[in-house]
A and B are shown apart, each in its own frame.
Chain A
């Protein structure tokens, strides 16, 4: 059991860990090694680097800094967070971890695959949570958009419920997954159509399939998918809603950095990470 699990190893997550670890809290960072900072070329607007610094370099230094003071850092893919009695379970592709508090610093997906129709049909056949909404698709034909571990996890949750599941990889390589009622289509998607609810998926080659529900699970689980599954309030832009203490609507879960929206800057992430770290320390003390 950890005192705190931090999801994400960018400037927000690492800053938070520096505070929690120094306060002697057993701290674990889990990250998928795919942060926004890592992809940033040169950071020239952050304090203290007279010639700027490569994003990748700053990212690696941050992780080392956390490890140097004893923070555990694991490279695994987050599938979901679950809560029960103010304790939390973090499920990854390899393990399940438990903690008394969670800091989400998972960043934002900068290249959200923007398929036409998703936004318009949200809640009308478009879902971000198989375990929550699968119930409404009993014995129906549904689709999962995605191709990675996360998409397979969603497919698994739907297997006992749905009649048939079609995995739509949207141009990505087909996953290794075989089940009787699962089909895989790798064609790129043009748009999702339907009047009042999801009816069809139109592919770029002008073919289409009928489907009654679509579960969004592209790439790895991002802030929006984690948030929807556990019940965090999100904003219209898909950011996690926090107050000035970086508290979410769920007691014991904090969020900081790019996943809370506003300016996508290292300075803001560092600040919010520090606040989240300090607030978690207070929270654990009062628990």
Chain B
């Protein structure tokens, strides 16, 4: 499944109201480590296909969301289930470690 671009306008609908688990990657274009995380997120989206929703949030354009979810370090990856955060990874994280929480 392709990776969604998330932001204030669609966060409620795509993440909080989602029936599926949602993986959210908070990132910024100027953040070096985020660039290394990005292909890992893309691979996860590809591997899990329709089972999980995967999206990215640019913190520069969506500061309210970053503040609301206490993001203080990027990349931060959160897994949402039925509107609640069930797991948070801070910093570049191994693909298999993330997959372990999604299957």
Q: Are B32 and A136 in contact (CB under 8 A)?
A: no
Chain B contacts to A: CB under 8 angstroms: 28, 31-37, 40, 59, 66, 70-74, 76, 88, 90-94
Q: Does A10 contact B (CB under 8 A)?
A: no
Given contacts A124-B70, A133-B72, A196-B70, contact A229 B40 (CB under 8 A): no
Is A191 in contact with chain B by the CB < 8 A criterion? no
Q: Complex Cα distance A250/B33, Å?
A: 10
- The minimal Cβ–Cβ distance linking A129 to chain B, given in whole angstroms, is 7
A34 within 8 A of B: no
Residue tally, chain A, CB below 8 Å to B: 27
A232 touches B73 (CB 8 A): no
Q: Quick check: A231 and B32 within 8 Å, CB to CB?
A: yes
Assess the B34–A231 pair: CB atoms within 8 A: yes
Least distance between B57 CB and chain A CB atoms (Å): 14
Whether B32 pairs with A82 at a CB distance below 8 angstroms is yes
Q: Name the one of B28, B36, B59, B72 contacting A231, with C-beta atoms under 8 angstroms.
A: B36
Pair A132/B35 contact, Cβ less than 8 Å: no
Which label, helix, strand, loop or mixed, suits the secondary structure of the A interface?
mixed
Q: A135-B59, A241-B94 are in contact. Are A129 and B33 (CB under 8 A)?
A: yes
A127 on interface, CB distance cutoff 8 Å: yes
Identify 10 residue pairs between A and B in the complex whose beta-carbon atoms are under 8 Å apart, listed by A's number: A123-B88, A127-B73, A129-B73, A132-B31, A132-B34, A136-B73, A228-B33, A231-B36, A233-B93, A249-B92
B68 to chain A, nearest CB (A): 13
Q: How far is the CA of A255 from the CA of B85 in the complex (A)?
A: 34
Which of A137, A213, A230, A241 lies in contact with B36, CB distance below 8 A?
A230
Select from chain A the residue with minimum beta-carbon distance to B89.
A123
Our pick among A123, A131, A249 for the contact of B76 (Cβ within 8 Å) is: A123
How distant is the Cα of A122 from the Cα of B59 in the complex, in angstroms?
A: 19
